[in-house]
Structure 1
Amino acid sequence: MIKRILSKIYKIIFNFIATVFPIHKGLVLFESFNGKLPSDNPYAIYQELVKQTEKKNLYWGIKKEYMKEARAQYPDLNLIPRFSVQWLWFATRANFWVFNSRMPNWLKKNNDTIYIQTWHGTPLKRLGADIQEVAMPGTDTENYKNNFIFEANRWDYLIVPNEYSKKVFKQAFHFQNDMLEIGYPRNDELVNNKANKKLQNELKKKIIGKEKGRVILYAPTWRDDYFIKKGSYRFFIPFDLEKIVNCLDKEDTLIIRPHYLVGDTIDITGYEDQVKVCMNEAINDLYLISDLLITDYSSVMFDFAILQRPMLFYPYDMAHYEEKLRGFYLDYSEVPGPIAENEEYLYKFIREFISQGKFSKYDNIMKQFEQLFCSWENGDASEKVSKVITEK
């Protein structure tokens, strides 16, 4: 009870500061995935911006549980604990917010703060106001939609990666402010390094300890009804690790990359030689070293398409996901790769890839998919966002 009262007083004080105090000119507050390690679009923007402005004005909000790792991996960044007094002081007086996920509604935005929402993917699954029935604990459909729309109305700029996303975001977020139609800053790295074999081999050695063999990346989305606690969801491996490994050559590696909302520990005991769980590695690094992507309904398919490499789709719970949870914007049958409807088809298609190196039937479909969703990706989105910040 006392803790709740103190928390309320705390919020009132800092919302008062946001109302009365002026912004600190040039101060930029970054966050990736609500305070996880610096990554994704915000980090790509930061890397460009630090070339053009004083680093002392650029700060990162990091959750306490990630602070030790963040300090070890990013010793040159200005890191502050998320929701600390220092963080709230900077949040209420920042010139810019650069975030890729929603912020809590109770945090008041200073009237002079410019909020750049980068978002974090091209949507296949329904978003925001387009979700018919919300299955997330702790909220209901009406509150979820209202909170989403309230947050989106605070965004001064929203980065969009393609024409399709522009239409979806406008509808799902009820967004009426400025859209930056520039592609995703995080994808600059993919565009500029997709043919850089030297870098890709260096990344392979760093991440899996060797340069030999193919890399198969399994990167699924999260399930709204696999709930642990707020912002954290369960994960299970929907295939037999032994059977997957038996499909591979001895030098090959399977990387499992859960969605950022997954809070489970993933057990790969007995298969460590050929299976790796990569929770915190930069997703672009994983894309660049991967020869095949296996996914379900995740937006990773749209970014990976930049590389024009094979994809395999494993929607093992399609009926439940489409009817009971989110639903889709696109016809799933048009994805740019084979669809494995069950485990046996999954193993069959993996063996086909291992023997042939691609899925020839989908070559033209992949090219069309890339043209539709990646045509705005020119390798300079980070530079364009940095100009918005430095020229304001």
Structure 2
Amino acid sequence: MKKVVNKIKMNNVVTRMLRLGMRFFSIFPTNSRLIIFESFHGKQFSDNPRAIYEYLSREYKDYTLIWAADRRYINKFKNYDIRFVKRLSLRWLYLMSRAKIWVVNSRMPLWMIKPSRTIYLQTWHGTPLKKLGVDIENVQMPGTDTERYRRNFVYEASKWDYLVSPNLYSTKIFKNAFKYEGRIIETGYPRNDYLYTNNNSEEIFYLKEKLGIPIEKRVILYAPTWRDDQFYEKGRYKFNLQLDLSKMKKELGENYVILLRMHYLVAENIDLSDLGDFVLDVSSYEDIRELYLVSDILITDYSSVFFDYANLKRPMIFFTYDLDDYRDRLRGFYFDFEKEAPGPLLNTTSSIVKEIIKIENNGHQFSEKEKSFYSRFCKLEQGISSKRVMDFLLRD
């Protein structure tokens, strides 16, 4: 107990020092050509911030573009020809205080002070199926409670100057879930530009070679989300893998490869040693957009990945073995998932294998339900969302 108390005291001291540091550096003039990027708390070079960064790198070469990198993930950033700074370092405080624009896809620390001259562009990281922010009726995440979680979420959203939305559906939800009163840029998601500009055989062959996948193999991407009430500690979640990968190898191993992509909050190390090269763990793979493009079929559950994958008009399967519990107790949904999901909802490995074989034998027919889903959620995404966002922001 004494160690816990001392840790809390130390964290409070560090927080006060960081806050004071930002106040001090905010007296320096703003650098009108400096933009700071952050994806998933500095853990990745990915997602909407990456797409916007890549667009600016091509079209606005007079800007200084710097990434915030969590010190535990520095080596990932070293793999790219990009400028980065250690998140929470003294230099990071200085740059954040002077930057003209922040481009971020998740929440920032509560103690952060946004200088009045800085534009905070919040891109968020998914079209919502499950309840968000103040819409969550009973928060079961560690280290917080429902009232505090809602209060902190609303406080964070009050700092945003602009919020990117992928579609009208999301715009309506974001306004209420975040109690957001700022400006919303409804452009489609920048991260999905890649799915339009790079969807060709040459890129797919390149990605297969990069991942070590034989060209002739078909690829299944399994990308489940996390469960709020299954955790080790704050920010580290358990995941009980229900998909029988050994059975799938027996039935599909000759023609398929499975890419296993766990959510970035999931801390499990799943033993795949008996599965050979049938299953590749790509949980730490930098950007999921490449995994979408190389995959022939997506298996997911309640993750927002299926909204993005729908842009490719490829088959999707939903492994919803705990649907009743997730829908009725953990999160709740914004629409009738069972009725509108753009693919079958299945709850056993056997039924999933049968569906995959059915797709292989009959091909994938783009159904009326899938067409309706695409029209509702993907119609803004034409490969130019990054341009739309920055045209709006730099012109405004």
TM-score, length of structure 2 as denominator length:
0.93
Give the structure 1 partner of residue 356 of structure 2: 350
Give the structure 2 partner of residue 337 of structure 1: 343
Q: Report the number of matched residues.
A: 387
Separation in 1, partners of 2:76, 2:91: 20
User: Which residue of 185, 195, 210 maps to 1:206?
Assistant: 210
Does residue 364 (structure 1) correspond to residue 368 (structure 2)? The answer is yes
Tell me the CA shift for residue 210 of structure 1.
2.1
Give the structure 2 partner of residue 274 of structure 1: 278
Give the structure 2 partner of residue 284 of structure 1: 289
- Asked if 1 retains the 8 angstrom alpha-carbon contact of 2:122 and 2:163, the reply is yes
Does residue 166 (structure 1) correspond to residue 171 (structure 2)? The answer is yes
The runs of 5 or more residues in structure 1 that have no matched partner are: none
Does residue 151 (structure 1) correspond to residue 142 (structure 2)? The answer is no
Separation in 1, partners of 2:107, 2:92: 16
Aligned partner letter, 1:347: V
The DSSP-based 3-state class of the residue aligned with 1:20 is coil
User: Which residue of 172, 178, 182 maps to 1:177?
Assistant: 182
- Asked if 2 retains the 8 angstrom alpha-carbon contact of 1:185 and 1:380, the reply is yes
Give the structure 1 partner of residue 96 of structure 2: 91
Aligned partner letter, 1:93: R
Separation in 2, partners of 1:48, 1:119: 18
Deviates more, 1:176-185 or 1:5-14: 5-14
Give the structure 2 partner of residue 10 of structure 1: 17
Poorly superposed stretches of 4+, deviation over 6 Å:
none
Root mean square deviation of aligned Cα: 1.8
Separation in 2, partners of 1:208, 1:172: 41
How much identity, in percent, do the aligned residues show?
Answer: 44
Does residue 248 (structure 1) correspond to residue 248 (structure 2)? The answer is no
The DSSP-based 3-state class of the residue aligned with 1:179 is strand
Aligned partner letter, 1:384: R
The DSSP-based 3-state class of the residue aligned with 2:151 is helix
Separation in 1, partners of 2:23, 2:211: 46
- Asked if 2 retains the 8 angstrom alpha-carbon contact of 1:45 and 1:382, the reply is yes
The DSSP-based 3-state class of the residue aligned with 1:301 is helix
Give the structure 2 partner of residue 328 of structure 1: 333
Separation in 2, partners of 1:354, 1:83: 50
Question: CA offsets per residue over residues 56-87 of structure 1, 9 Å max, x none?
Answer: 7211011111101220x21x211111111111
Separation in 2, partners of 1:53, 1:344: 51
- Asked if 2 retains the 8 angstrom alpha-carbon contact of 1:18 and 1:109, the reply is no
The DSSP-based 3-state class of the residue aligned with 1:270 is helix
Deviates more, 1:338-347 or 1:116-125: 338-347
Give the structure 1 partner of residue 243 of structure 2: 239
Tell me the CA shift for residue 120 of structure 1.
0.6
Give the structure 2 partner of residue 118 of structure 1: 123
Question: CA offsets per residue over residues 217-275 of structure 1, 9 Å max, x none?
Answer: 10111111121222221223212111111221513101111112112212211113111
The DSSP-based 3-state class of the residue aligned with 2:68 is strand
Separation in 1, partners of 2:229, 2:212: 32
The DSSP-based 3-state class of the residue aligned with 1:51 is helix
- Asked if 1 retains the 8 angstrom alpha-carbon contact of 2:22 and 2:94, the reply is no
Tell me the CA shift for residue 126 of structure 1.
0.4
Pairing of 1:61-100 with structure 2 (within 5 A):
61-71=68-78, 73-74=79-80, 76-100=81-105
Does residue 316 (structure 1) correspond to residue 321 (structure 2)? The answer is yes
- Asked if 2 retains the 8 angstrom alpha-carbon contact of 1:96 and 1:389, the reply is no
Question: CA offsets per residue over residues 156-181 of structure 1, 9 Å max, x none?
Answer: 11000011101111111111111111
Separation in 2, partners of 1:94, 1:48: 18
Counterparts in 2 of 1:215 and 1:270: CA distance versus 1, 3 Å:
same
Question: CA offsets per residue over residues 19-49 of structure 1, 9 Å max, x none?
Answer: 5333222211101111112100000000011
Counterparts in 2 of 1:363 and 1:302: CA distance versus 1, 3 Å:
same
Tell me the CA shift for residue 390 of structure 1.
4.2
Separation in 2, partners of 1:165, 1:90: 32
The DSSP-based 3-state class of the residue aligned with 2:185 is strand
Question: CA offsets per residue over residues 172-219 of structure 1, 9 Å max, x none?
Answer: 11111111111000111112233x111111111211332111101101
Separation in 2, partners of 1:64, 1:124: 32
User: Which residue of 261, 265, 272 maps to 2:269?
Assistant: 265
Give the structure 1 partner of residue 3 of structure 2: none
Does residue 40 (structure 1) correspond to residue 47 (structure 2)? The answer is yes
Separation in 2, partners of 1:357, 1:387: 40
Tell me the CA shift for residue 311 of structure 1.
0.5
- Asked if 2 retains the 8 angstrom alpha-carbon contact of 1:18 and 1:110, the reply is no
Tell me the CA shift for residue 149 of structure 1.
0.7
- Asked if 2 retains the 8 angstrom alpha-carbon contact of 1:96 and 1:113, the reply is yes
Give the structure 2 partner of residue 109 of structure 1: 114
Aligned partner letter, 1:35: G
Deviates more, 1:100-109 or 1:271-280: 271-280
Question: CA offsets per residue over residues 268-302 of structure 1, 9 Å max, x none?
Answer: 11113111111224211111111110010011111
- Asked if 2 retains the 8 angstrom alpha-carbon contact of 1:182 and 1:381, the reply is yes
- Asked if 1 retains the 8 angstrom alpha-carbon contact of 2:311 and 2:374, the reply is yes
Separation in 2, partners of 1:21, 1:99: 22
